[in-house]
Amino acid sequence: MGFLHEGHLSLIKKSKEKADITVVSIFVNPAQFAPNEDLVKYPRDIMHDKKLLKNAGVDYVFIPSVQEIYPPGFQTFVEVDKITRHFEGKFRPTHFKGVTTIVSILFNIVMPDYAFFGQKDAQQAAIIKQMVKDLKMGLKIFVCPIIREKDGLAKSSRNIYLSPQQRIDALVLSKSLKCAQSLIKKNTLGISAIINKMKEEIFSVNSSILDYIKIVDMDKFEKAKNLTAGKKYYILIACKFGKTRLIDNILIKA
């Protein structure tokens, strides 16, 4: 959606390694914002984005208007069922319908062989994988690692909203994830105890308002009841700092 940072550029780098031609779309998609969310305020800097993309060696940049994507009379949406009901879907019930619709439109326009998404939006990536599989879209989805600041905060266009103190406070997200990873490696605690330890870290700062912490099976993206040795899991967090809502996660092997 633009306001590009190193996380986006890492996807471009991966694309250039895998593909002959790299196309980047920039589109702030109104269909994935609820009325009370930050569509109008969402950060935009197209000129800076274009400069970064040129320097990164992108072959084509596609920046459609809202009218091109959703012309008058538009009435078709793409929706994935089960996987969208939980986690982000519970807090943002219309969000993923907007995401799958715009992604399917962009796939139909560009007709890529590969598409690259960031792990930071792990649920989104899982939903897009499901959509591609179910609708026989014939492209391969790559999920690329989270890119972080030096102090651990996951790169996000919304980080610009944080006050200096909230920016410091937000480090509890990556700290709590590292804590969980360490506990799982030691194999000393169950899921509930691990989540409680993470909550202690998150609530150690005054500005945090936790939406959820969940541990989910990587393949089915369902909430884990227990951890099975050798299997991979995402630990997901969504938390507000002031009015800014951030998500983060880590992929671990039990």
Residues 167-218 have pLDDT tens digits of: 999 999 999 999 999 999 988 789 999 999 999 999 999 999 999 999 999 9
Q: Which of 5, 8, 48, 86 is catalytic?
A: 8
Cα-flanking dihedrals φ and ψ of residue 170, to 5°?
-65, -15
Residue 133 is which amino acid?
K
Tell me the mean pLDDT in the region 219-228: 93
Residues of the chain with CATH 3.30.1300.10: 157-253
The second-level CATH assignment, the architecture, of 6-144 is: 3-Layer(aba) Sandwich (3.40)
User: What's the pLDDT at 189?
Assistant: 80
Residues of the chain with CATH 3.40.50.620: 6-144
User: What's the pLDDT at 5?
Assistant: 96
Tell me the mean pLDDT in the region 2-21: 97
Tell me the mean pLDDT in the region 96-118: 98
User: What's the pLDDT at 187?
Assistant: 83
Whether 8 sits among the annotated catalytic residues: the reply is: yes
Determine contact, residues 116/14, Cβ cutoff 8 Å: yes
In angstroms, the first-to-last Cα distance of the chain is 34
> 157-253 in CATH: which number?
3.30.1300.10
Tell me which residue of 232, 15, 13 sits closest to 141, measured CA to CA: 15
Record the pTM. 0.95
pLDDT band at 75 (very low <50, low <70, confident <90, very high): very high
User: What's the pLDDT at 188?
Assistant: 74
Nearby residues of 111 by Cβ (< 8 Å), 6 or more positions away: none
Give the number of other CB atoms < 10 A from CB of residue 213: 22
User: What's the pLDDT at 50?
Assistant: 98
| 232-241: strand order across its sheet | 208-217, 232-241, 244-253
